[in-house]
């Protein structure tokens, strides 16, 4: 059996299946007493547990019967089906598993946020009333072209990224007007939205260390999978109410729409996202890699500690000159950093090293003394708790139960 080609570049109808479709296929085939298992982004159906050769391996939702009546065509990928007599049944089950769309499985309740390309809704599952978030991307409006470019990339990476530090996607649907990504609900929203809600410009060192521990852990996992995020910022780090410790939220990295494979190394491929977050090596047209995420993490840490982005007052020409020139540097004003510990400043400076070969990597960052306390508190063997109606806290005004400046 072959594999789909260029799986990261496919258009909407060629997107790989995700967890929700797997569940529906399990339900559909389960009624026929087939044993089903998942393998990456595919579903394999066997006559019985222990069989070596699957009856069918499914890797995409669009299904046609071949002209020879012996194969199923899945977006151009032909798979031979051994029990040809049941061909029409196979096709019916595969198509019906995904034909009803979002509303059959999820109920939208209300809009909770919106961005440049999408809106996010609070929603619940029809069968169990579990609370989820549904991100709806407009494929017909003024931003449709950009959304159609970002969507396949995001779903491609979401389908195989499994990290307790990255927001998890559960399901995916697409119709002629929009695409919908169903994901776990991060009910506190982004760091940016929570800081605005609390009316604070900066956070305590303890808060910043907790956030940065999770961000660097997410990047460690993504980089280990060969994924470069390319969009780490106040807006892409989300938080979730933690029933086990209400004073300490769950923190996860989101927004993989600008992510790319670590095989991409051309500087022009990294001119994405906000100009103020682009790493020096991009301006210098050097070979680029995962180090760009460490630079963006340093900018995030600087902002959270000092109360502003270090480049926010520069125009595009100034940014390009400052970062593109050998010997450029980030300014640390004494009045802003006087209350920050030596460890906090060292950590930030190590991430904002202009020479990427000298920049601190994720392993060194996670071992840094600035992150020692959150590393001890966090037990990565315990998965994030499920979010149910009884512990939703959408209107919460407490980021960490405190809003003092520096600890």
Report the mean per-residue pLDDT for the chain.
76
Mind giving me the DSSP string for 262-330? TT---GGGG--S-GGG--HHHHTT----THHHHHHHHHHHHHHHHSS-TTTT--HHHHHHHHHSTT---
Scanning the structure block, which residue is given the tokens 């600890």? 407
Q: Is the pLDDT of residue 252 over 90?
A: yes
The answer to which of 84-98, 128-142, 331-345, 369-383 has the lowest mean pLDDT is 84-98
**Most confidently predicted of 98-102, 214-218, 392-396:** 214-218
Residue pLDDT, tens place only, 26-47: 565 555 556 666 544 456 667 6
pLDDT on residue 389: 34
Under the banding of pLDDT at 50, 70 and 90, the label for residue 178 is confident
Residue pLDDT, tens place only, 12-26: 223 333 345 555 555
Give the SS3 label for residue 11.
Answer: coil
Q: Is the pLDDT of residue 111 over 50?
A: yes
**Which residue ranges make up each domain of the chain?**
12-96, 106-183, 189-391
pLDDT on residue 212: 97
**Most confidently predicted of 69-78, 94-103, 244-253:** 244-253
**Most confidently predicted of 5-9, 30-34, 270-274:** 270-274
d(C-alpha 302, C-alpha 323), whole Å: 16
Structure-model confidence comparison of residues 384 and 339, the more confident one: 339
Residue 321 CB partners (closer than 8 Å, separation 6+): none
C-alpha angle 151-155-156 in degrees, rounded to nearest 5 = 110
Q: Is the pLDDT of residue 79 over 50?
A: no
Q: Return the percentage of the chain with pLDDT > 90, whole number.
A: 35
Task: Please tell me if the domain spanning 106-183 has the same topology as the one spanning 189-391.
Answer: no
Contact assessment for residue 210 and residue 191, using Cβ atoms and an 8 Å cutoff: no
Mind giving me the DSSP string for 185-203? --TTEEHHHHHHHHT-S--
pLDDT on residue 397: 30
Structure-model confidence comparison of residues 170 and 148, the more confident one: 170
Q: Which residues pair with 188 in a beta bridge?
A: none
Nearest Cα to 233, choosing from 183, 286, 191, 266?
191
d(C-alpha 307, C-alpha 49), whole Å: 57
Query: Dihedral of CA 180/261/163/209: which sign?
Result: negative
Determine the average pLDDT of the residues in 237-264.
Answer: 88
Select the CATH number that applies to the domain covering 189-391 from these four: 2.102.10.10, 3.30.420.40, 3.40.50.300, 1.10.510.10.
1.10.510.10
Second CATH level (architecture) for the domain 106-183: 2-Layer Sandwich (3.30)
Determine the average pLDDT of the residues in 124-133.
Answer: 89
pTM to 2 decimal places: 0.72
Give the SS3 label for residue 7.
Answer: coil
Determine the average pLDDT of the residues in 96-123.
Answer: 81
pLDDT on residue 400: 35
Give the helix, strand, coil percentages of the chain, each rounded to 5: 35, 20, 45
Structure-model confidence comparison of residues 398 and 76, the more confident one: 76
Structure-model confidence comparison of residues 162 and 331, the more confident one: 331
User: Distance of CA 14 to CAs 88, 308, 376, Å?
Assistant: 22, 42, 43
**Most confidently predicted of 35-39, 61-65, 308-312:** 308-312
């Amino acid at each position: 059996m072959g594999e789909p080609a260029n799986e990261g570049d496919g258009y909407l109808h060629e997107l790989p299946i995700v967890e929700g479709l797997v569940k529906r296929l399990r339900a559909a085939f389960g009624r026929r007493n087939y044993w089903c298992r998942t393998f990456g982004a595919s579903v394999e159906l066997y006559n019985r547990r222990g069989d070596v050769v699957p009856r069918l391996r499914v890797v995409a939702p669009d299904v046609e019967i071949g002209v020879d009546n012996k194969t199923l065509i899945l977006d151009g990928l032909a798979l031979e089906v051994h029990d040809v007599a049941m061909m029409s049944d196979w096709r019916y089950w595969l198509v019906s598993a995904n034909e009803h769309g979002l509303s059959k499985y999820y109920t939208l309740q209300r809009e909770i946020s919106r961005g440049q390309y999408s809106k996010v809704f609070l929603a619940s599952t029809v069968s169990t009333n579990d609370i989820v978030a549904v991100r709806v991307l407009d494929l017909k409006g003024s931003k449709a072209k950009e959304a159609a470019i970002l969507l396949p990339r995001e779903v491609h990476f979401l389908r195989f990224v499994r990290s307790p530090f990255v927001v998890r996607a559960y399901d995916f649907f697409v119709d002629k007007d929009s695409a919908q990504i169903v994901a776990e609900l991060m009910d506190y929203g982004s760091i940016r939205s929570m800081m605005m809600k609390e009316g604070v410009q900066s956070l305590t060192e303890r808060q910043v260390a907790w956030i940065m521990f999770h961000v660097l852990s997410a990047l460690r996992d993504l980089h280990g999978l060969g994924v470069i995020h390319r969009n780490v910022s106040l807006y892409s780090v989300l938080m979730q109410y933690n029933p086990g410790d209400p004073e300490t939220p769950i923190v996860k990295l989101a927004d993989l729409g600008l992510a790319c494979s670590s095989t991409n190394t051309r500087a022009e491929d990294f001119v994405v996202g906000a100009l103020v977050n682009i790493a020096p090596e991009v301006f210098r047209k050097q070979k680029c890699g995962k180090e760009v995420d460490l630079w963006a993490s340093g900018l995030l840490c600087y902002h959270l500690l000092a109360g502003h982005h270090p480049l926010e007052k520069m125009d595009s020409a100034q940014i390009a000159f400052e970062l593109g020139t050998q010997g450029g540097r980030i300014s640390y004003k004494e009045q802003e950093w006087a209350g920050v510990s030596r460890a906090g400043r060292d950590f930030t400076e190590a991430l904002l090293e202009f020479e990427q070969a000298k920049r601190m990597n994720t392993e060194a960052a996670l071992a840094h003394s600035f992150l020692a306390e959150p590393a001890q508190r966090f037990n990565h063997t315990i998965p994030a708790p499920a979010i149910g109606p009884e512990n939703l806290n959408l209107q919460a005004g407490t980021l960490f139960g405190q809003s003092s400046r520096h600890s």
